[in-house]
């Protein structure tokens, strides 16, 4: 099994540094461009199927990467982004910076002490559901020889990859930073054992826009 994990393209909320989580924000034009460029970069990869988060920004990314191909796309709740509850929609940098920003930014800067807001998920919960998703893949004998695209989100993708790396402590969650929009990580699975063969590959020429807390 060969897995291609991709974070969705840019949205207007990404650009404005607003917290998205479960908020269903579509790609902006730049985000669509990134997805199409990623599709060009992966044009020679034969995908047997794709899994996507139910959120529109991830679905659009998968559809644009696979544009012109007949690849089944399966929506899966367990690779949905982390829910941030009452923090969703707040701006965490710039002139419109919300008063809750300092507490929320512990999610990035002091993850071990991050306290989810009302209605939010915990990091442990995200790690648990993404681990369950991976186990479902590994145990599915019909997928053993398949090449699969997985379109997800910054935190959800990090949860997936941390499970693969065996990093299951909240304090270690962001050791590799936030994946850039449309970054691709490739994982080989043999005898139910995953190995990362390439991480955070981008297929577009523009400088990678990263999420810098407090900028």
Burial of 113 (0-12, 13-18, 19+ CB in 10 A): exposed
Give the model's pLDDT for residue 211: 54
Domain boundaries, the chain: 2-201
Give the model's pLDDT for residue 210: 59
Given a contact cutoff of 8 angstroms between Cβ atoms, the answer to whether 8 and 180 are in contact is: no
Mean pLDDT confidence for 124-147: 97
Mean pLDDT confidence for 131-136: 98
Per the structure block, which two tokens stand in for 105? 């930014």
Which of 137, 164, 111 lies closest to 48 in space, CA to CA? 137
Distance in angstroms (rounded) separating the CA atoms of residues 61 and 154: 13
Catalytic one among 10, 37, 60, 81? 81
Alpha-carbon dihedral 165, 34, 207, 101, rounded to 10 degrees = -70
Distance in angstroms (rounded) separating the CA atoms of residues 89 and 98: 10
Give the model's pLDDT for residue 213: 46
Share of the chain above pLDDT 70, in %: 96
Residue 132 annotated in active site: no
Catalytic one among 8, 22, 37, 153? 8
Would you say domain 2-201 falls under CATH 3.40.50.1240?
yes
How many C-beta atoms surround the C-beta of residue 28 within 10 A?
17
| pLDDT higher than 60, residue 212 | no
Mean pLDDT confidence for 16-45: 97
- To the nearest whole number, what is the mean pLDDT of the chain? 94
Residue 206 annotated in active site: no
Share of the chain above pLDDT 90, in %: 90
Could you read off the pLDDT of 154-175 as tens digits, one per residue? Answer: 999 999 999 999 999 999 999 8
pTM of the model as a whole: 0.94
How many C-beta atoms surround the C-beta of residue 88 within 10 A?
18
Band of the pLDDT at 209, cuts 50, 70, 90? low
């Amino acid at each position: 099994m060969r897995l291609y994990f991709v974070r969705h393209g840019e949205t207007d909320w990404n650009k404005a540094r607003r917290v998205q989580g479960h908020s269903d924000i579509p790609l902006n034009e730049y985000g669509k461009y990134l997805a199409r460029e990623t599709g060009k970069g992966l044009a020679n990869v034969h995908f047997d199927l794709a899994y996507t988060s139910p959120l529109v920004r991830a679905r659009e990314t998968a559809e644009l990467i696979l544009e012109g191909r007949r690849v089944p796309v399966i929506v899966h709740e367990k690779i949905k982004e982390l829910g941030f509850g009452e923090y969703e929609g707040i701006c965490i940098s710039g002139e419109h910076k919300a008063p809750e920003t300092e507490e929320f930014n512990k999610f990035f800067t002091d993850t071990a002490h991050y306290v989810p807001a009302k209605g939010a998920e915990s990091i442990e919960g995200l790690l648990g559901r993404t681990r369950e998703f991976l186990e479902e893949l590994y145990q599915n004998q019909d997928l053993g020889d398949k090449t699969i695209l997985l379109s997800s989100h910054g935190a959800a993708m990090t949860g997936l990859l941390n499970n693969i790396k065996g990093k299951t402590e909240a304090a270690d969650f962001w050791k590799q930073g936030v994946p850039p929009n449309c970054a691709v990580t490739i994982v080989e699975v043999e005898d139910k054992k995953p190995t990362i063969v390439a991480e955070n590959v981008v297929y577009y020429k523009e400088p990678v826009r990263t999420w810098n807390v407090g900028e």
